[in-house]
Structure 1
Amino acid sequence: MSYLSIEFGLLFIAFFALYWGCRLSPKIQNGLLLVSSYLIVGSYSWQFALILFIYTCVIYLFSLLIAASKCHAKRWLVLGLCVSIINLALFKYFDFFRYELQYLFNLLNFPILLPAITLLIPIGISFYTFHSVSYLVSVKKKEFPVAKFWDFALFLSFFPSIIAGPINRAKDFLPQINVAQPREILEPFRAFTLLIFAVIKVYCVGGLISEHWVKPIFANPLEFSVIDLLVGLYGYAMQIYLNFSGYTDLVTGIALLLGFRLPINFNLPYLALNLRDFWGRWHISLSRWIRDYIYIPLGGNRRGLVQTQINVMLAMLLSGLWHGAGINFIIWGAFHGIGIVVLNIGDRYLGKDWITRRSPTVARLLTWHYVCFTWLFFYCESLPDALEYLTALVHNFSIQPLYAGDFLVICFIYFSYPMCKNFTQWFIIQLTRIPHIFLPFVFICILWMVIYIAPSGMPNFIYANF
């Protein structure tokens, strides 16, 4: 069930009334959240809900063992993390690695035949795996005592963030579950603003960009000029940002209406002046998770220049692999890793932010184009598709552009993008000035206009695939 569907909207309104009807009992509210979360996961497949529950029980058992053990806590932590990774690898990467290993065995003439098993990827498995890792590590560090089982089950299954994030940290989110005092709706004007923005971003603007620029150009890249192909790349960069940040707006707004805060996940990423800056603004909860649970444990920047760059590459390769079991995602992660390594070396020998200090505009343009180039591998389903697009991009100079006007529109959007920096806060202030009795009519008018302008069909959340 899409969170943008009318069915979900009606069900959420009914759930919202029931949820706040139990305001005096946070435990009952938690129970309602837990049941609804499992029903949403189960709406995709009852097996997904069962897998999530079994996984929850196993990880919770490891947390008990970690907390109870004085001498072997680290061993239980390592074993628990291995179980989490194996579970993720089995469901998400088995087929990919089976194919690659089988190819290697055949190449080496090894008489080994790996079993062909078709496994459906449980919805949200990447996100609840990351949540569980943060929980186990926090228990090991004694940042808090072992949570109550049902609180932990809600932490892993919380429906606003289980489908496509953002990634919650146990030490930040569990205290919001285990509360004694009645909850309150948090920042209602901001919540409704985020819901409106989500519908506009995902349903309307992102959908139009996909329908008019991305899909037709990527479908037959050899038929389009270089200008058109740039429109396709720029368009996809905009679409994935609108889609993912729109989803984050949506679930953040829903969480606020339920009395919960989710971490900030985007901060105008296309204003970034370099790749490090980009990853400090894009999918922030993932970037920080990779930093804290992969990059720093590997040694971070504490073991010299060369080892630091190796750690960067490993972290970014794992980031690419996390996004999908395919060579294109690994290449995407590798390019981001290479870009950051080159940036680090430049900072070492040319001075920190050498380009930015001389021309922030040039630095931003270079970052934008590099990121757009890497999005090519993110979008294409196979390496040949990506290479075909690249071939057209470097050869099709003689073809008459069909999207020249659209290219100028994208340039205008890109250079006016910094003006959006304070738009959310401005919109919230305008809402507060409207008499409350008229607010429902304002929301209805905005939603009607969006539905009227938006292309037909229900847009998918891109990051729900990961």
Structure 2
Amino acid sequence: MSYLSIEFGLLFIAFFALYWGCYRSPKIQNILLLVASYLVVGSYSWQFSLILFIYTCVIYLFSVMIVASEHHAKRWLAFGICVSVLNLALFKYFDFFRYELQDLLDLLNVSVSLPVMTVLIPIGISFYTFHSVSYLVSVKKKELAVAKFWDFALFLSFFPSIIAGPINRAKDFLPQINVTQPREILEPFRAFTLLILAVTKVYCLGGLISEHWVTPIFANPLEFSVIDLLVGLYAYAMHIYLNFSGYTDLVTGMALLLGFRLPINFNLPYLALNLRDFWSRWHISLSSWIRDYIYIPLGGNRRGFIRTQINVILAMLLSGLWHGAGLNFIIWGACHGIGIVVLNIGDCYLGKNWLTLRSPIVARLLTWHYVCFTWLFFYFDSMSDALDYLTALLNSFWIEPQYAGAFLIIAFIYFSYPIFKNFTEWFIIQLTKIPHSYLPLVFIFILWLVIYTAPSGVPNFIYANF
């Protein structure tokens, strides 16, 4: 069930009323949240709920063993992380690695046929895997005590963030579950603003951009000019940002209405002046997780320049693989890793942020175009399709552009993008000036306008696939 569907909206309103009807008892609210979360997961498949519950029990047992066996805590942590990774690999990467390994065996003339299995990927498995790793590490570091089982179950299954993030840290989120004082709605004006922004971004803007520019151009790139193909790349960059940041706005607003805070996940990523800056602004909860749980444990930048670059490449390759079991995602991660390594080499020989200090506009444009180029491998499952797009970019200079007007529109949006830096805060202030009795009418009018102008159908969340 899509979080943008009318059915979900009505169910959430009913749940909201029941939830706050029990505001005096956070324990009852937690039970309601846990039941609702498992129902959301079960709406995709009851097996997904069962897998999540079994996984929760196993990881919780490891956390208990980490505390109970202090002398062997490191070993139990390693076992727990291995189980988490193996569980993710089984469900998400089995088919991918089976095909690759089978091809390698055939190449070596080894007559072994690996078993064929159809494995469904449980919804949210990537996110609750990362949640559980943060919990085990926090318990090992004694940043928090072993949680109550049902609190931990809610931490892994919390329905606003289980489908497509953001990634919650156990030490930040579990204290919000384990409260004794009655909760309250957090920043209601911000919550409703985020809900409006979410619907506008995903339903209207993202949908229109995808329908009019992304889908037709990416469907057959060989028919379009260089200008058109650039429009396609730019439009997809805008679409994926609007879709994913819109989802984050939606679930952050929902969480605030339920009395919870989720981590910030976006900070105007297309204002980035280099790739390091981009990853400090894009999917922040993922990039910071990879930094803290992969890059730094590998050695970070503490073991010399060359080792640092190897660690960067490994971290970005794993980031790409996390997004999906496909060669295209590995190449996408490799492109970002190589880009950061080149940036680090430039800093070493030319001086840190050499280009940024001399021409921020050029630095921003180069970063934007490089990120747009890498999105090509993110969009296409097939390498041949991505290469067709690249071939068309290099060989279609003489085709008459069909989307020259769209090129100018996107250029205007890109250069006016910084103006909207404080739009959310401005909109919240305007809402506070409206009499409360008129606010429902304002929200209904905005939602009607957005849905009326948006393409038909309920849009999918791109990151729900990961």
TM bin (shorter chain): over 0.9
Deviation at 1:280, TM superposition (A): 0.1
CA offsets per residue over residues 200-236 of structure 1, 9 Å max, x none? 0000000000000000000000000000000000000
Task: Name the CA distance, whole Å, in 1 between partners of 2:209 and 2:115.
Answer: 42
**Equivalence for 1:279:** 279
**Equivalence for 1:91:** 91
Report the AA paired with residue 464 of structure 1. A
CA offsets per residue over residues 165-209 of structure 1, 9 Å max, x none? 000000000000000000000000000000000000000000000
**Equivalence for 1:198:** 198
**Equivalence for 1:224:** 224
Report the AA paired with residue 291 of structure 1. R
Task: Name the CA distance, whole Å, in 2 between partners of 1:67 and 1:128.
Answer: 21
Task: Name the CA distance, whole Å, in 2 between partners of 1:119 and 1:70.
Answer: 37
Deviation at 1:78, TM superposition (A): 0.2
2:122 matches 1:131: no
2:426 matches 1:406: no
SS at match of 1:298: coil
2:202 matches 1:236: no
Report the AA paired with residue 84 of structure 1. S
Superposition map of 1:285-304 within 5 A: 285-304=285-304
CA offsets per residue over residues 293-350 of structure 1, 9 Å max, x none? 0000000000000000000000000000000000000000000000000001110110
SS at match of 2:398: coil
Superposition map of 1:124-203 within 5 A: 124-203=124-203
Report the AA paired with residue 392 of structure 2. A
Task: Name the CA distance, whole Å, in 2 between partners of 1:219 and 1:67.
Answer: 54
State the identity %: 84
Superposition map of 1:67-466 within 5 A: 67-466=67-466
Task: Name the CA distance, whole Å, in 1 between partners of 2:288 and 2:117.
Answer: 34
Report the AA paired with residue 381 of structure 1. D
CA offsets per residue over residues 356-399 of structure 1, 9 Å max, x none? 01000000000000000000000012100100000001100010
Structure 2, unpaired ranges of 5+:
none
Task: Name the CA distance, whole Å, in 2 between partners of 1:54 and 1:262.
Answer: 25
Structure 1, unpaired ranges of 5+:
none
Task: Name the CA distance, whole Å, in 2 between partners of 1:320 and 1:264.
Answer: 21
Superposition map of 1:13-24 within 5 A: 13-24=13-24
TM-score by length of 1: 1.00
CA offsets per residue over residues 142-174 of structure 1, 9 Å max, x none? 111100000000000000000000000000000
Deviation at 1:85, TM superposition (A): 0.2
Report the AA paired with residue 149 of structure 2. F
CA offsets per residue over residues 216-264 of structure 1, 9 Å max, x none? 0000000000000000000000000000000000000000000000000
- RMSD of aligned alpha carbons: 0.3
Report the AA paired with residue 395 of structure 2. H
Report the AA paired with residue 101 of structure 2. L
Deviation at 1:70, TM superposition (A): 1.6
Deviation at 1:123, TM superposition (A): 0.1
Task: Name the CA distance, whole Å, in 2 between partners of 1:140 and 1:19.
Answer: 34
Deviation at 1:111, TM superposition (A): 1.3
Superposition map of 1:25-64 within 5 A: 25-64=25-64
Task: Name the CA distance, whole Å, in 1 between partners of 2:238 and 2:280.
Answer: 18
Report the AA paired with residue 255 of structure 2. A
Report the AA paired with residue 145 of structure 1. A
Deviation at 1:449, TM superposition (A): 0.4
Report the AA paired with residue 368 of structure 1. W
Report the AA paired with residue 247 of structure 2. Y
Task: Name the CA distance, whole Å, in 2 between partners of 1:14 and 1:458.
Answer: 21
Task: Name the CA distance, whole Å, in 1 between partners of 2:204 and 2:228.
Answer: 22
Task: Name the CA distance, whole Å, in 2 between partners of 1:384 and 1:354.
Answer: 36
Report the AA paired with residue 465 of structure 2. N
Task: Name the CA distance, whole Å, in 2 between partners of 1:6 and 1:457.
Answer: 11
Deviation at 1:55, TM superposition (A): 0.2
Deviation at 1:112, TM superposition (A): 1.1
Report the AA paired with residue 27 of structure 1. K
Task: Name the CA distance, whole Å, in 1 between partners of 2:67 and 2:169.
Answer: 18
SS at match of 1:297: coil
SS at match of 1:66: helix
SS at match of 1:127: helix
Report the AA paired with residue 256 of structure 1. L
Task: Name the CA distance, whole Å, in 2 between partners of 1:146 and 1:71.
Answer: 17
Task: Name the CA distance, whole Å, in 2 between partners of 1:423 and 1:16.
Answer: 28
SS at match of 2:406: helix
Deviation at 1:102, TM superposition (A): 0.1
Report the AA paired with residue 214 of structure 2. V
